[in-house]
Amino acid sequence: MAATRTRLVVVGGDAGGMTAASQAHRLAGDELEVVAFERGAFTSYSACGIPYWVAGDVGEPDDLVARSPDEHRRRGIDVRLRTEVTGIDVDRREVTAYDQAEGREYTEPFDKLVVATGAAPARPPVPGVDSDGVFGVQTLDDGYALLAALDDRAPRRAVVIGGGYIGVEMAEAMLRHGLDVTLVDRAPQPMTTLDPDMGAQLRDAMTGLGIDVVTDTAVEGIETAGGWVSAVVAGGTTYPADLVVLGTGVRPATALARDAGLRLGDSGAIRTDLRMTVAGQDDIWAAGDCVESFDRVSQSWTHVPLGTHANKQGRVAGTNIGGGYATFPGIVRTAVSKVCDLEIGRTGLREKDATAAGFEYVVAKVDSTTRAGYFPGARPITVKVLAEIGSGRLLGVQIVGREGAAKRIDTCALALWNEMTVGELSMVDLSYAPPFSPVWDPVLIAARKAADIVASS
């Protein structure tokens, strides 16, 4: 009599879920039966790449797909598309799923479970937000819908609500489609992952491109005409719009987990241990944008939805499910983005984060160039450094500049990860040649300036 195989059910077919499924199946082989549910039509795709596809930098949506459903199936994973898990019964060890194509509901048993339900666009609670012509940008289906509207309706004016990563990237994408673009954000400056003084540089750059950036302004409603969006009302002003794009960030999609009694953290995302096991559940794991991550600098739990974290967390979960051992050691909130040729990088804590964590700190900010000042193509770069008073420990770095600026943040992230002081960072042996940096790299200059302030404080 054949041995009964262990059944792994995965809820969510993108980065966290399918990385966990693939890694677990690779390690456990035929001893593990894997069923993966995905409510959309795609698996393992780069949601971060959608703005670049919409803008035209990426030619085909297939270019954003790392592994198709058929590729997963050929590797032994039973992928079920257009099938939404609507309930998890922890006691009965089963999930309830709804097959959209067949219009039927059924249950599927599991021995082990991965919850990788991702995040959902944060829709402002205002009248008209669900109107036709209002688009989120979270899935490939969202991208298809937006591109179809651009082709079919030939819009002239777009309003982007929200100035986070997706908001500023989509503002550029709409501009490149030839639309007049207004970006409305309730924050003092766009990109609130930066301090306001650094965000102001982003605002200036966007304004210089012809984008109307409206800040410190809350959206009050979205108007329609003839069944389609016609305007956004914000701060008492009406901004005409032929389409609206939501760039208001995301929230962890954890309704299933909450209803199943799984533990959530203060952010509303799922709380796991280092092995990505859901707190209090031996055979249930979670990964990706639906989970909290531990911030190594502030020593606190936070929700930071990024594909880098999702892939690592999925691999850790899959390794443990497949019989190996792995842990996810946390994050330092590193991220990069761009608007046209303006590059943005950040890692660690902003000033308000450092204050909330109880740090006393100093700030150093320098303006420099991406190459030796005399070398053709040298472009401006601003580096801002936060360091703890007394110890001089690096707490956070923000970089805004032109070509060649943003990826310098990785040096800072590595220093932050290893709890280096700004004095130590200022003397790191970085490479130098005039086409790549000044003899003192801007990161080293900012670190040295911070170290001097710490020494005199």
Active site residues: 48
Q: Could you give the residue ranges of the DSSP H alpha helices within 286-370? A: 307-321, 351-356
Structure tokens at 170: 């989509």
Write phi, then psi, for 87 (nearest 5 degrees).
-165, 150
Judged by DSSP in three states, 91 sits in coil
Burial of 343 (0-12, 13-18, 19+ CB in 10 A): buried
| CB-based contact 59:14 (threshold 8 Å) | no
Q: What are all long-range contacts of 355-359, with beta carbons under 8 Å and residues at least 24 apart?
A: 356/298, 357/297, 357/298, 357/299, 357/300, 359/388, 359/389, 359/395
Q: How far is CA 378 from CA 115, 366, 404, in A?
A: 47, 16, 9
| CB-based contact 337:165 (threshold 8 Å) | yes
DSSP string, 407-448: GGHHHHHHHHHTT-BHHHHHT------TTT--SS-HHHHHHH
Give the whole-angstrom CA distance, residue 393 versus residue 421: 4
| CB-based contact 56:47 (threshold 8 Å) | no
Give the whole-angstrom CA distance, residue 380 versus residue 442: 10
Q: What share of the chain is helix, strand, coil (3-state, %, to 5)?
A: 30, 30, 40
Q: Could you give the residue ranges of the DSSP H alpha helices within 250-363? A: 255-259, 307-321, 351-356
